[in-house]
Structure 1
C-alpha cells in the first residue's frame, strides 16, 4: 500500500472521529492492575470508558447483543473479517468467534482475534467477553448498561488489557477506540 494511501486513510479516520457527535458526559480512566497470566503475576491495565446515551435500556440491550452493532460502532477504527465468513447475528453466551482485525480498515493487527462470550446477563444488562490474540494476550471486555430514566442510560465499557511489552501501546489505542465506539452509540440513539 502506498504511503499516500496510508496518509489519506489516517486523515479520513481522523475526520470520522471528529465528525462523530461529541458526548460531553464521556469519561475514561486507565489503572494499572496486577493479574495472573500463564501462572505468573503481571501488570495489566484496566480501561474504563463511561457515557450517558439517550436511548431506552431495552432498545440498547437488544442492540448490544448484535454483531451489526459491533460493526457499526467500530467503523472507522476497526474492520472485522470473521474467520467463518460472518459473525452470528446475535451473540450467544458460551460461544467463541474468531476474526481478523484490520485497524483503520486496512492494517492487520494481532493475527486471529478470538472472542469468548463468557456472560450475557439479561437481568443486569451485562455482556462480558474474554478475548485474545498474538498481541493482546488478554482483552477482557465487560459492557454494563444502567437505566437512568425511560430514555437515558449509563453505558460502561471496562476492559482488562495485557500485551506484554505492548500493554501501554495497546491500552493507548484501546482508549481511543472505546471513546470512538461510545460516540458512535450517540448516532445509534439518533436513529431510533
Structure 2
C-alpha cells in the first residue's frame, strides 16, 4: 500500500495526472435533423491532463488538431491551409483520410459556433456525407495543481451508419486525449 501511494505521488510529481486514461460513455439520444426526429448517439470522452489550463486553452488550434489526430486521421484543408487560430462564425472544409490514406466522408465541414474564453468551451457543428451531424463541444475544467479535466462531447448522427461512426469516434477521441498527454508531458506549444 505504501508503495502504491509512493508511486502515485511520484507520477504526479513527474507530470502525470492520476486519472489520465480516457473514460468514455455513449448514450442514445433523439435529435432533430432536417425537420425529423432521428436516433443519434451522444459520445463523451474525458481524461485528466497535467497541464495549466491557460496553456491548454491557448493550444486549442488547428495545428494541435493535426498533432492529436496524427496516426488516426489526417486532415487537409480544402482551401489553402487552416488558419493559425479558429474563428467564431467561420466554416472550414477538410478532406479526411483515416489512418492517413483511406478517404472518408468527402469534404468534412467544421463550423465554429462558439469559443468561450471564460468557461474554456469550444463548440462546433460539423458534417459530411456520412456523418450528417457531428456536434462537438470541447470543455476544459481547472482541477488545480496544473491539472485539467479535458472533455470531448459529441452528438453523432449518420443514419444507418450512426453506430459504426460512433464506435470509430470513441477510438479516435481516446487517441486524441492520449496525444494530449504528450503535449502536456513534452510542454509542446501549438499557440504560435
Q: TM exceeds 0.5? A: yes
Match of 1:33 in 2: 29
Match of 1:160 in 2: 155
Q: Provide, for residues 159-187 of structure 1, a one-character-per-residue CA deviation record: whole Å limited to 9, x for no partner.
A: 00000000000000000000000000000
1:100 partnered with 2:60:
no
Whether the aligned pair in 2 keeps the contact of 1:101 and 1:111 (CA below 8 Å) is: yes
Unmatched runs of 5 consecutive residues or more in structure 2: 1-18, 188-192
Query: Alignment partner of 1:123: what SS?
Result: coil
Count of aligned positions? 170
1:24 Cα deviation (Å)? 4.3
CA–CA separation in structure 2 for the residues paired with 1:94 and 1:150: 34
Match of 1:3 in 2: none
Residue pairs, 1:8-19, within 5 angstroms: none
1:112 Cα deviation (Å)? 0.5
1:25 Cα deviation (Å)? 4.0
Query: Alignment partner of 1:157: what SS?
Result: strand
Pick the structure with greater CA Rg: 2
- The CA RMSD measured in Å over matched residues stands at 1.2
Whether the aligned pair in 1 keeps the contact of 2:21 and 2:178 (CA below 8 Å) is: no
1:191 Cα deviation (Å)? 1.5
Unmatched runs of 5 consecutive residues or more in structure 1: 1-22
Whether the aligned pair in 2 keeps the contact of 1:116 and 1:129 (CA below 8 Å) is: yes
